Structure 1
Amino acid sequence: MKILIADDDPQILRALRITLSAKGYEIVTATDGAQAVRAAIDEHPDVYLLDLGMPQLNGIEVIQGIRGWSQAPILVVSGRAGAPDKVEALDAGADDYVTKPFSVDELLARIRALTRRVPQEEALPSVRLGNVTIDLAARSVTKESPAGRRQIRLTPTEWQVIEILIRNTGKLVTRQTLLTSIWGTEHAEDTGYLRLYVSQLRRKIETDPSKPNHIITEPGMGYRLDNVEG
């Protein structure tokens, strides 16, 4: 089981990495909020341990960004003991809250409880969009034509966009969710970024990019992935 730990305190990161690794967990770490969101998209952890007071993006912003596309359990581990902080984190999408300092036994029990209670995300190793096959596990895209099959190269950002859409197949993914998850809240209004990458994806994936059949625009709201074969 993979756990992402995000905290700007290097001593806490080191202690948690050593402790949880010794219990058999695979650990990924991040020292600020933006790094945490990028690691979430790249690594797809099974559980998140997040501090609230991080630079770049704070813990609430990270929770909101993750919750736009993932239902994996989020456990806040914070020195903020006030009820308003706990309520804000839980309302944003966190599943549980532990206050620093905490006992290792309690933390492990909370992790076990979350992984029992919350279903893990279903893996989506491969999908078909018409004559295009996207394999998330292998991070490969192939396109079939009368001339044969060829590989399509996606940039890292294009991968992030299409992966979020695939994991929300048939559902509206708002522009703000995509922008926040990929570029952070400081770019939540920079829709030009998103239009550029969606346009590039359509040129690579759609049969007729001017009349997309898969990456559908929901005017004024965001995008939806449609006509997908598992």
Structure 2
Amino acid sequence: MMNVRPSEARGHVNHGWLDSHHTFAFGDYYDPSHMGFRALRVINEDRVAPRSGFGTHPHRDMEIITYVLSGQIEHRDSLGTVGVLRAGELQRMTAGTGVLHSEKNNTGQELHFLQIWILPDRKGLTPSYEQKGFPEKERQGRFRLVVSPDGQEGSLKVHQDVRLYSTLLGKGEQTEYALAPGRNAWLQVARGSGSLNGVELKAGDGVAVSEEARLVLSANEPLEALLFDLA
């Protein structure tokens, strides 16, 4: 069973410096029928204007994943972490008992990224931070594991039974994923267009998947997508 969340149905806010689309309820956008999917709580597609960004603010008891599509983002937090993420790089921040952080676009170009929140498997975790790049060649034509509970295959480690994969497909290319019995999936199209098990999708679309053993993703044009394997 597949349930498509169309790009145009997402919540939308534009603050001038920030243009953001919300797949699930977030901030002032409240939709009781779209509060998340399984442990997946937030997928925000954010475009941040040059020389601007999110000032220092708090989080707690959330696993926060940042996935950069273009541009770069500077991260600073109360753990003393300072990092710069570029396209193809991800960060995982465990907010746990509480952390302060800022995310800034200090360049002259627009920043385009996905902000993802995952509910942790327990509250009160010790805050921590992790960052890693995944080259295009590792993601081209296949689902490359980038986040997992145990850090398999060099992935970032998240405190939840979630596995996140990234893929890049050229026009006419396809890749497959076997979904184990009892597991669920969410596919988010970041760029391009294609189809999942024959269902046409475009950039910004998301798909909730359950009771499907085999997922076939095909590209009508160059496509970038994220696949969440969820309990």
Q: In terms of Rg, which structure is larger?
A: 1
Same topology, TM > 0.5:
no
**TM-score, normalised to structure 1's length?**
0.29
| Higher helix content, 1 or 2 | 1
